[in-house]
Structure 1
Amino acid sequence: MAGKRRTQERRTKTKTISISLQDRGQTTQDFAVGIGIFLLAIAFVFSYMPSLLTPFSSSVDSGQTAQADRIVATMVDNLSEDPDRPNHLNGSAFEERYGDADDSTELAAALGLRATSEMPIDRVNVSIEQLNQSETRSDRRIEDLTSGDPYGDESAASAGRIVTIDHPECDPACRLVVRVWNT
């Protein structure tokens, strides 16, 4: 029996194999490509997200906002006659220059806006409003100190200045508001 045991095949021992860092499955290039794709995906998501959160079409651009600000600054500069009171407007000069404009083309020409021969390219509304916050916007407007196209809460660029004017409804001050929007 002893001879039989020796004649049986001997089992081979399993060998352990050590893998060095150079022989592993992921290379540096694989890691760089994976991180690059991940960063591109993150950049795409962050660049796309603002368009999801903003309105689909904004009718007011920065040019109209700058135009409204330029108009209100020019009006305050032209209607202020006393250098000691820089934001005190002359009410009769306001009515003479801007209040007598029968249509929007005349007001656009008086304010230096773009216009064709038939109609202005941009619509504008100039109004002096009371500072009383308890009333609605349309109730705060002083009708004899309002000029231009009728404004009905459209999307418009607006600029305003706190001014004083000799008018019974403007005590102690009022707000000069210029609104500009496209036709």
Structure 2
Amino acid sequence: MTRKRTQNRTGRARGRRQRTLSISLRDRGQTTQDFAVGIGVFILAVAFVFTFLPTILTPFDSSVSGGQTAQADRIADRLVYHLSDSDTSPNAIDSGDFKDIDDVDGIREIVGLRTAGDRVSVQIEQLNESETVNDMVIGDQYNDQSAASSARIVTLDDNPEGCETACRLVVRVW
């Protein structure tokens, strides 16, 4: 079986092309090093996505609203204003006045809150620790649930133990 020679448009006879020699490693175009680098880049990209995806979605799954945060800040500000003697020192709280507030209704009267469904807890804690000072807690019991909180640095007039220099007034709303 022989092959006929064909002619191109100019009428010249076209011969058979000489075959190109190619050199390949194991007859494939991908080496082990290429595969390892590709898989390494893919694993790093997947790890990057799984690492940063939760931080992108975090602000949207918070159960505390901006209104609750503002309310906690307003309650802390008003309590310090009403319980302190602003003439001598603006953040010195009278312990007797604090203990006279019995419940959340007392806080609502002093601060001027409307009766909303929010729960409020006010407590005075030591600066270095989260322990309350002499059971100075007003309002609902807080059990480490998600809550908006605000804190003010205050001094107490009777300087109880653990609060000689200053204490922290913490207001939580949930």
TM range (shorter): 0.5 to 0.7
Q: Alignment length, in residue pairs?
A: 127
Q: How far off is 1:105 after superposition?
A: 4.3
Q: How far off is 1:84 after superposition?
A: 3.4
The SS at the match of 2:79 is helix
Structure with greater proportional helix content? 1
The SS at the match of 1:95 is helix
Structure 1 residues without counterparts, runs of 5 or longer: 1-8, 14-48
Percent identical residues? 50
Query: How does the TM-score come out when normalised to structure 1?
Result: 0.59
1:91-118: per-residue Cα shift (whole Å, max 9, x none)?
A: 111122x2x22xx445444433332xxx
The SS at the match of 1:69 is helix
CA contact (8 A) 2:148 2:173 kept: yes
Query: How does the TM-score come out when normalised to structure 2?
Result: 0.62
CA contact (8 A) 2:79 2:110 kept: no
Structure 2 residues without counterparts, runs of 5 or longer: 1-5, 11-52
Whole-Å separation in 2 of the counterparts to 1:10 and 1:71: 98
Q: 1:11 to 1:158 in 2, by over 3 A?
A: closer
Q: 1:128 to 1:82 in 2, by over 3 A?
A: same
The SS at the match of 1:155 is coil
The SS at the match of 1:113 is coil
Q: How far off is 1:125 after superposition?
A: 0.1
1:146-157 matches, cutoff 5 A: 146-157=137-148
Match of 1:125 in 2: 121
Whole-Å separation in 1 of the counterparts to 2:168 and 2:114: 25
Correspondence 1:87 to 2:91: yes
Whole-Å separation in 1 of the counterparts to 2:127 and 2:7: 104
Correspondence 1:180 to 2:173: yes
Correspondence 1:74 to 2:65: no
Match of residue 57, structure 1, among 58, 61, 65: 61
Aligned partner letter, 2:165: P
The SS at the match of 1:74 is helix
Aligned partner letter, 1:149: D
Match of residue 153, structure 2, among 158, 162, 165: 162
